[in-house]
C-alpha cells in the first residue's frame, strides 16, 4: 500500500481530495497534508510518503522549490505537480526537476486515481529492479557486508557516478546521503612501528579501531567505514554542516597528535578535506591519502631523530614551522635573508660534522613546507621526486651558513610554485576532455587509459581533473555519453540498444536505467518530449544529473 501526501494552500482542495478518493480500496494510504512547502518538509521527513502531490503556487515555499529539495534529500519519493496554471514554463520547470506527472486543476477523482495508479506501477517496477540488483549483489559477493565495503571502496576511488552510488546504496539499504562529507584513513603499519611483528601490528590496528569506535559512539549512522587492507581502515564521516564535520574529526586529530609523541603506538592517520557533494568523497579520500603520506614521513623522521640523539630531545629544538609558513605567505624576497638568519639562530650551536640533529630538523621543516605547497598549489609535480631532491641538498649542508642558504632556496622554490600555479593544468584538462570526446564510444575508456594517454599517474590525474572541473573523471565521461545519447535519440531513428552501443555501453539494460536516473525520463519519453528534451541538454541536464 503506497503512502500519499498532499500539499496545497487551499484547505477546500485538501479536504476534497482527502475525502473523495477511497484510498485503501485503491491500494493507497493518505498519510497527511500541509498548507505550504515549509511545513510539508518536516512532515515528509517524518511520514516518508511514497507519492507527494503538491500545488505549485503556495506561500513561503512553492511547489517547485519543495520538489527540488525533496528530489535532492529523498530521491525515491515520486512527485506529482497539481496546479491551476497551464503555462508551458511551469510544466518545463517541473519536468526538469524529475517529477513523475503534471496535471491541471480542477482534477476529477477518476483522473487522480488513474494518475496515482500509473505512479504506483512505476514504484513497483523500481522496487522490483532494486530487489533484482540486491539479489545479484548478494549472489556476487556472498553477503551484504562485502557488498557494502566494495560500494564504499569504489566510491572513494572515484569508480562510481553520483547516480550509481545513490542507486547501489539504496539497493543495499545503506544511508549514504548527507549535506557534508570527509574521509579519514588510519594505518597501523607505520614506519615508526617497524620493530613490531605482524601479530602486534594487527593488535594495534584492532585496538585503535576499537578506541576510535568508542569515542565516536554518538555518531551512529553518521560514520561509515571499511577495511582497505589488513592494517588500514577508511572512515567516511557525514554531517549537516562543515562545523559538525570538524567536530567529528576532532577525535581523529587527537589520536594523530598522540601518535607524534615519543613511544606512542597509534597508527598513522590521514585526514581529508570537507566537501558538500557525494563526489567530494573521492577528493577527500585522495587528500587523506596524501595527508597520511606526509604524516608517515614526519613520524619516521622524528623517530629516527630520537633514536640517534645522544640524550632526550628538548621540544624547543624543533624549528617553529608555523612561523616559517607564515613568512612563506606574507614575506618578501628582500626580507628572506634576514628572516632566515634570525629563524635558525638557535641552530648555531649544532656541530654539523658530529650531530645529525640539524639534518633531521631541516628535513622535518621541508616535509611540512612541501605538504603545504601540495595542498595550496597544483603544480608541485611528483612529491617523492621533489622531496628526494631537497633531501639531497640537505645532505650537502656542512655549516650554519649552508643551512641558511638551503632554507632561502626552499623559500624561493615555494614562491616559484605560487607564481607558476595560475593555470598550470589548463592544457592537460583540455587534452583529457578531447580524449573523452574522441573515445567516449569505446567501452574500454577509463581513468587508467586516460592517464596513460596524458602520461600521468591515475591518482594524480583523478585529483587534478576533479579539482579543475568540479567533476570526477567518471562523472564527466558519463555526462558526455548521456549528452551524445540525447543527440542520437533526437536526430536518428536508432533503437535504444543501438544508441547504448554508439555511446560506449555494451549493456543496453544498464544504459536505459542510467539514462532514466540522470535525465528523469526513459529514452522513449525523451524522444516524445522533443523540444523539452533539448532544454534538458543545457542547464536542465545539469540539474537532472545532480538529482541523480
What CATH number did the domain enclosing 33 receive? 3.40.50.2300
Residue 68 grid coordinates: 527540488
Which of 232, 378, 368 is CA-nearest to residue 294? 368
What is the structure's pLDDT at 139? 57
Q: What domain range is 31 assigned to?
A: 2-132
Tell me the pLDDT of the chain (548 aa) as tens digits.
889 999 888 888 888 888 888 888 888 999 889 888 888 888 888 888 999 988 877 877 777 888 888 888 888 888 888 777 555 466 556 566 667 777 777 778 888 888 888 888 888 888 888 777 766 665 554 444 447 888 898 889 888 888 788 888 888 888 888 888 999 998 876 544 433 344 443 444 444 443 443 344 344 457 888 888 888 889 999 988 888 888 888 888 887 776 555 555 567 788 888 888 888 898 888 888 877 777 677 666 666 655 555 544 444 445 677 788 888 888 888 898 999 888 887 776 667 776 677 777 888 788 878 877 776 665 666 667 788 888 888 888 888 888 899 999 999 988 887 777 545 677 788 889 999 999 999 888 888 888 888 877 777 788 778 877 878 888 899 999 999 999 999 888 888 889 999 999 888 888 888 888 888 888 888 888 764 544 444 444 443 344 33
Q: Are strands 28-34 and 51-54 parallel, antiparallel or unpaired?
A: unpaired
Q: Are residues 390 and 485 in the same domain?
A: no
Residue 131 grid coordinates: 530487489
Q: Are residues 148 and 288 in the same domain?
A: yes
What is the structure's pLDDT at 503? 93
Which of 92, 111, 132 is the last residue before a domain boundary? 132
Q: Are residues 124 and 153 in the same domain?
A: no
Asked if residue 139 belongs to a domain, the reply is: no
Q: Are strands 223-227 and 232-239 parallel, antiparallel or unpaired?
A: antiparallel
What is the structure's pLDDT at 312? 47
Q: Are strands 180-187 and 232-239 parallel, antiparallel or unpaired?
A: antiparallel
Match 634576514 to its residue by C-alpha cell.
338
Which of 280, 303, 326 is the last residue before a domain boundary? 303
Which of 303, 323, 352 is the last residue before a domain boundary? 303
Q: Are residues 241 and 346 in the same domain?
A: no
Asked if residue 137 belongs to a domain, the reply is: no
Q: Which residues contact 17 (CB under 8 A, 6 or more apart)?
A: 6, 8, 53, 112
Q: Which residues contact 216 (CB under 8 A, 6 or more apart)?
A: 223, 248, 251
- How far is 539 from 518, CA to CA, in rounded Å? 13
Asked if residue 60 belongs to a domain, the reply is: yes
Asked if residue 153 belongs to a domain, the reply is: yes
Q: Are residues 268 and 151 in the same domain?
A: yes
How many Cα atoms sit within 13 Å of 319 on the Cβ side?
Answer: 28
Number of compact structural domains in the chain: 4
CATH number at 540 reads 1.10.10.60
What is the structure's pLDDT at 433? 93
pTM of the predicted protein model: 0.47
Asked if residue 138 belongs to a domain, the reply is: no
Q: Are residues 373 and 505 in the same domain?
A: no
Residue 16's Cβ-count burial label (10 Å; 0-12, 13-18, 19+) is middle
- Element containing residue 531 per DSSP (H, E): helix 531-537
DSSP-H helix ranges across 142-223: 144-156, 162-171, 198-215
Q: Are residues 543 and 471 in the same domain?
A: yes
- How far is 14 from 20, CA to CA, in rounded Å? 10
Asked if residue 90 belongs to a domain, the reply is: yes
What is the structure's pLDDT at 5? 92
Q: Are residues 435 and 514 in the same domain?
A: yes
Q: Are residues 152 and 298 in the same domain?
A: yes
| φ, ψ (nearest 5 deg) of residue 277 | -135, 155
| SS3 at position 34 | strand
The sheet that has 180-187: what strands, in order across it?
Answer: 223-227, 232-239, 180-187, 268-271
Q: Are residues 178 and 230 in the same domain?
A: yes
Are the CB atoms for 234 and 187 separated by under 8 Å? no
Asked if residue 327 belongs to a domain, the reply is: yes
DSSP-H helix ranges across 355-399: 357-376, 383-395
What is the structure's pLDDT at 502? 92
Match 487522480 to its residue by C-alpha cell.
112
Would you list the DSSP string of 447-479? HHHHHHHHT--HHHHHHHHHHHHSS-HHHHHHH
What is the structure's pLDDT at 92? 59
Q: Which residues pair with 270 in a beta bridge?
A: 185
Asked if residue 451 belongs to a domain, the reply is: yes
For residue 99, the Cα-to-chain-centroid distance in whole angstroms is 26
Q: Are residues 171 and 287 in the same domain?
A: yes
Determine the number of helices (DSSP H) and then strands (DSSP E) in the chain: 24, 9
Q: Are strands 101-104 and 180-187 parallel, antiparallel or unpaired?
A: unpaired
CATH number at 174 reads 3.30.70
Are the CB atoms for 7 and 53 separated by under 8 Å? yes
What is the structure's pLDDT at 215? 45
Q: Are residues 292 and 282 in the same domain?
A: yes
- How far is 133 from 147, CA to CA, in rounded Å? 11
Are the CB atoms for 503 and 484 separated by under 8 Å? yes
- How far is 498 from 502, CA to CA, in rounded Å? 6
Amino acid at each position: 500500500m503506497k503512502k500519499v501526501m498532499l500539499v496545497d494552500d487551499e484547505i477546500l482542495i485538501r479536504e476534497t481530495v482527502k475525502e473523495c478518493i477511497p484510498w485503501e480500496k485503491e491500494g493507497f494510504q493518505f498519510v497527511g497534508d500541509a498548507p505550504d512547502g515549509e511545513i510539508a518538509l518536516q512532515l515528509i521527513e517524518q511520514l516518508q510518503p511514497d507519492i507527494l502531490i503538491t500545488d505549485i503556487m503556495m506561500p513561503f515555499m512553492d511547489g517547485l522549490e519543495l520538489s527540488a529539495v525533496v528530489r535532492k534529500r529523498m530521491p525515491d519519493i515520486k512527485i506529482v505537480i497539481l496546479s491551476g496554471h497551464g503555462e508551458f514554463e511551469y510544466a518545463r520547470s517541473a519536468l526538469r526537476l524529475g517529477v513523475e506527472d503534471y496535471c491541471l486543476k480542477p482534477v476529477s477523482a477518476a483522473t487522480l486515481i488513474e494518475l496515482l495508479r500509473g505512479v504506483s506501477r512505476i514504484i513497483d517496477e523500481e522496487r522490483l529492479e532494486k530487489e533484482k540488483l540486491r539479489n545479484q549483489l548478494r549472489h556476487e559477493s556472498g553477503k551484504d557486508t562485502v557488498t557494502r565495503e566494495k560500494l564504499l571502496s569504489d566510491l572513494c576511488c572515484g569508480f562510481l557516478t553520483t547516480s550509481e552510488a545513490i542507486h547501489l546504496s539504496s539497493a543495499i539499504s545503506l544511508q549514504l546521503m548527507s549535506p557534508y562529507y570527509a574521509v579519514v584513513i588510519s594505518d597501523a603499519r607505520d614506519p615508526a612501528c617497524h620493530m613490531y611483528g605482524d601479530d602486534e601490528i594487527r593488535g594495534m590496528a584492532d585496538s585503535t579501531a576499537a578506541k576510535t569506535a568508542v569515542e565516536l559512539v554518538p555518531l551512529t549512522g553518521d560514520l561509515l567505514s571499511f577495511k582497505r587492507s589488513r592494517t588500514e581502515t577508511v572512515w567516511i564521516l557525514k554531517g549537516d554542516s562543515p562545523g559538525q564535520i570538524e567536530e567529528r574529526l576532532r577525535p581523529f586529530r587527537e589520536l594523530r597528535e598522540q601518535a607524534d609523541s615519543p613511544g606512542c603506538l597509534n597508527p598513522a592517520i590521514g585526514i581529508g578535506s570537507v566537501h558538500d557533494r557525494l563526489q567530494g568523497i573521492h577528493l577527500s579520500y585522495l587528500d587523506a591519502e596524501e595527508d597520511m603520506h606526509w604524516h608517515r614521513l614526519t613520524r619516521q623522521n622524528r623517530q629516527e631523530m630520537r633514536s640517534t640523539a645522544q640524550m632526550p630531545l628538548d621540544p624547543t629544538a624543533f624549528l617553529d614551522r608555523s612561523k616559517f609558513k607564515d613568512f612563506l605567505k606574507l614575506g618578501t624576497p628582500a626580507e628572506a635573508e634576514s628572516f632566515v638568519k634570525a629563524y635558525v639562530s638557535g641552530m648555531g650551536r649544532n656541530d654539523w660534522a658530529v650531530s645529525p640533529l640539524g639534518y633531521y630538523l631541516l628535513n622535518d621543516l621541508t616535509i611540512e613546507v612541501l605538504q603545504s605547497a601540495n595542498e595550496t598549489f597544483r603544480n608541485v609535480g611528483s612529491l617523492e621526486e621533489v622531496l628526494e631532491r631537497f633531501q639531497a641538498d640537505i645532505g650537502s649542508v656542512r655549516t650554519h651558513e649552508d643551512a641558511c642558504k638551503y632554507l632561502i632556496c626552499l623559500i624561493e622554490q615555494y614562491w616559484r610554485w605560487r607564481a607558476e600555479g595560475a593555470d598550470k593544468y589548463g592544457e592537460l584538462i583540455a587534452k583529457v576532455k578531447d580524449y573523452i570526446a574522441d573515445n567516449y564510444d569505446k567501452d574500454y575508456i577509463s581513468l587508467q587509459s586516460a592517464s596513460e594517454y596524458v602520461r600521468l599517474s591515475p591518482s594524480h590525474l583523478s585529483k587534478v581533473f576533479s579539482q579543475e572541473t568540479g567533476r570526477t573523471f567518471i562523472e564527466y565521461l558519463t555526462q558526455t555519453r548521456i549528452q551524445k545519447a540525447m543527440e542520437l535519440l533526437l536526430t536518428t531513428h536508432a533503437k535504444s540498444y543501438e544508441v547504448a552501443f554508439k555511446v560506449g555501453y555494451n549493456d543496453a539494460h544498464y544504459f536505459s536505467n542510467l539514462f532514466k536516473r540522470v535525465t528523469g525520463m526513459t529514452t522513449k519519453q525523451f524522444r516524445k518530449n522533443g523540444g523539452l528534451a533539448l532544454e534538458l541538454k543545457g542547464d536542465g541536464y545539469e540539474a537532472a544529473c545532480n538529482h541523480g
